[in-house]
Structure 1
């Protein structure tokens, strides 16, 4: 079989199979969302597995044209569709172990037939096992969780990994922009932390407050106006555009990516999502749109959900924190004495009108987002999962652990 025919079948076979399933099954939006995520996950994970395979000699590719990082793009996309969209759309309810076993068996049968484009090494089964473990099974799980509406945080985390991998890491590798002096890459990484924090905080706000994800087919169930959305209406698009502008200092190709990200956010996304939000939330959405700009962040937050942070007034270490917050005149945040809370609090506690709650370091991080953009960035950093855990560990180790409070009424007044 000729190399051209092998490459054509490897791509068009899965494409036609997915198209046929879509035409027959007419999948609903959650299943489409699962298929998109599963395919994206496989593109990213299989890119890594193939890079490792080329390095370790599991297999190699003999192809010319449409090759990126030594891998034929058509084979990669066909493989990702076969393992991602095809099962997610055709058999979404099938047991994951059974689906993975069938697709792995199919791959074992097809890979030896892909010569001369794909040349297998003596240890190619190790590579196949790595692909199944890193690409196939996680992709099936993400699709299942999205379709059934389960594991919200895992779905959101998967989308963060996909956005970073497909939107930043792979383009850096393909363009070769990473081949820069270490000092330049270090400075760029520090600058990228600002849009990165904005984007991560926006995804977290979607999940925690809106009970949804950034994917259009898996959106929040209620209007999200807190966190980064109190400062800018399009924090994810703003973060993406700003990040690409920074990456353009390494390679001008990223200017095109920034232009595309901005055009999408200001054009199609603004029109389509704006209509959907207006239909779903009416005057609530229109009032929010009037208060918050789409691209240029405000210095002080606007329209965040009202919140209360409870800080112990009888604790020598805690009370100064409450007074410091009160002096900053936070927007839509009241500072109250923890002693007055009916639940008997033992840590600083943040409670928001939309049901979002946090304790300890996370509570302080949430309170900081009500002051201004500078403190909000610090709060978003402090609230990141690993950072918050480590910061809380340090605070507890230094004597800032839980307290048993007396039931005495105290009021916080700025001084």
Structure 2
């Protein structure tokens, strides 16, 4: 009879099984039935989310006494890379592919999700004690397990389910932005651990410029979700051609964001190695992105995409939005001094494809300045109007002026910033008030009807504003 394995051999077996087991599960699920494009998107999103959250969890585990790792080679931040990747697949791709094969009705979906979560938790509770000598559990290791389930497993399963069902698109898009920023930008920078070489004020300016460089990418992600009802992931694309927001200025705003962020960080920290990220982003966009995503867009939207492609450059942004920007209307109360001031401000700057109209002419009773634009329609898709109110409406209208004001609008439209801005505007007198036809009939200052044209001439008439054809 053979005795127990020596610690070195046991460590090799544990580490090999930790990554090979989940990987073989993924291969078996894919071989049994080729996953659809949406199933691949669900697996990628769930795995990426799990990977992003499991790394800091395992780094913090030793500090809190939950568990410690005893391994040499292929260790990052004290965590064995193979265990991290295997755990991410087990909590990400494996359940996502299982969910893609289950046909559940609206009433049974939640029950299946609960059962799948319980099965994965049970499996994890059974496997964790078998991780010695690589993983040594502490007395409070269940606390770390609970935290991992709450922050990594459950959100990963929800993201997979929402992707498969095409629901909660805004949450899915923001989740992709979080894990993409964490895995593609933050982790490589942490891995290099560059030391600032310049005075603190210059480093601070560089970090702020990096945040500014991220704005077009975040705004593009929001636009894909709000207008296109899709996400940046090629396996979970928009169902409508999106030519508004950053896409009216630049064809590749997300790749440009990554490339610019790495370039600014390389200058900020004086670390040339970070420029590799810029080269990878440009190479991906010019190679795989242009070939795969470009072909997808051509097949889905045909002449509309060709016209958009001819009007917008891939890397060099336009100063003014392209004419392909969908025409929109900004409804502003004519009986409000502050509101008419906003209208005159926009009129003087000649926004592209933005019509200024008195709110009282709207068929509904509007309580705040309102922005409306029809979404660009794909074949056989009935697109609802894009609508925003208050500060969000002004933020969207700013994208019709030029790139400088568009950056301000994208920043203003970020969650949190938008809500804080609305609270501030309300506090200074821009709170909701009804705009009715009766207000116009009572002798209030009526704003003339406007006409939306791609090239509009905005003139002041008797102190009011109006948009007339050029």
TM interval, shorter chain, is over 0.9
Equivalent runs, 1:5-404 vs 2, <5 Å? 5-92=13-100, 93=102, 95-177=112-194, 183-249=201-267, 250=269, 251-302=271-322, 303-354=324-375, 355-404=385-434
Q: Deviation per CA, 1:340-360, whole angstroms, max 9, x where unpaired?
A: 222122211111122111111
Contact 1:207 1:213 in 2 (8 A): yes
Contact 2:321 2:400 in 1 (8 A): yes
Superposed CA RMSD in Å reads 1.5
1:178 and 1:221, CA in 2 relative to 1: closer, same or farther beyond 3 A? farther
What SS does structure 2 have at the residue aligned with 1:384?
coil
Q: Shift in Å at residue 316 of structure 1? A: 1.1
Q: Deviation per CA, 1:286-316, whole angstroms, max 9, x where unpaired?
A: 1110100001100000010000101122211
Q: Shift in Å at residue 178 of structure 1? A: 6.5
For structure 2, list consecutive stretches of 5 or more residues without a partner in the other structure: 103-108, 376-384, 451-457, 461-470
Aligned length: 415
Q: Shift in Å at residue 197 of structure 1? A: 0.7
1:114 and 1:77, CA in 2 relative to 1: closer, same or farther beyond 3 A? same
Q: Deviation per CA, 1:45-66, whole angstroms, max 9, x where unpaired?
A: 1001111102112111111111
1:178 and 1:390, CA in 2 relative to 1: closer, same or farther beyond 3 A? farther
Contact 1:350 1:367 in 2 (8 A): yes
What SS does structure 2 have at the residue aligned with 1:318?
helix
For structure 1, list consecutive stretches of 5 or more residues without a partner in the other structure: none
What SS does structure 2 have at the residue aligned with 1:385?
coil
Contact 2:42 2:96 in 1 (8 A): yes
* Structure-2 separation of matches of 1:167 and 1:177: 16
* Structure-2 separation of matches of 1:179 and 1:172: 12
What SS does structure 1 have at the residue aligned with 2:440?
coil
1:252 and 1:137, CA in 2 relative to 1: closer, same or farther beyond 3 A? same
* Structure-1 separation of matches of 2:14 and 2:434: 70
Find the counterpart in structure 1 of residue 382 from structure 2.
none
Contact 1:324 1:414 in 2 (8 A): no
1:178 and 1:86, CA in 2 relative to 1: closer, same or farther beyond 3 A? farther
Q: Deviation per CA, 1:349-382, whole angstroms, max 9, x where unpaired?
A: 1111221111111111111000000000000011
Contact 2:68 2:136 in 1 (8 A): yes
* Structure-2 separation of matches of 1:83 and 1:60: 20
Contact 2:207 2:265 in 1 (8 A): no
What SS does structure 2 have at the residue aligned with 1:242?
helix
* Structure-2 separation of matches of 1:100 and 1:83: 9
Please identify, of 175-184 and 358-367, the stretch whose mean Cα deviation from structure 2 is larger: 175-184
* Structure-2 separation of matches of 1:319 and 1:151: 36
* Structure-1 separation of matches of 2:196 and 2:266: 14
* Structure-2 separation of matches of 1:178 and 1:204: 33
What SS does structure 1 have at the residue aligned with 2:357?
strand
Q: Shift in Å at residue 185 of structure 1? A: 4.4
1:22 and 1:118, CA in 2 relative to 1: closer, same or farther beyond 3 A? same
Please identify, of 104-113 and 86-95, the stretch whose mean Cα deviation from structure 2 is larger: 86-95
Please identify, of 182-191 and 213-222, the stretch whose mean Cα deviation from structure 2 is larger: 182-191
Q: Shift in Å at residue 184 of structure 1? A: 4.9
Please identify, of 87-96 and 330-339, the stretch whose mean Cα deviation from structure 2 is larger: 87-96
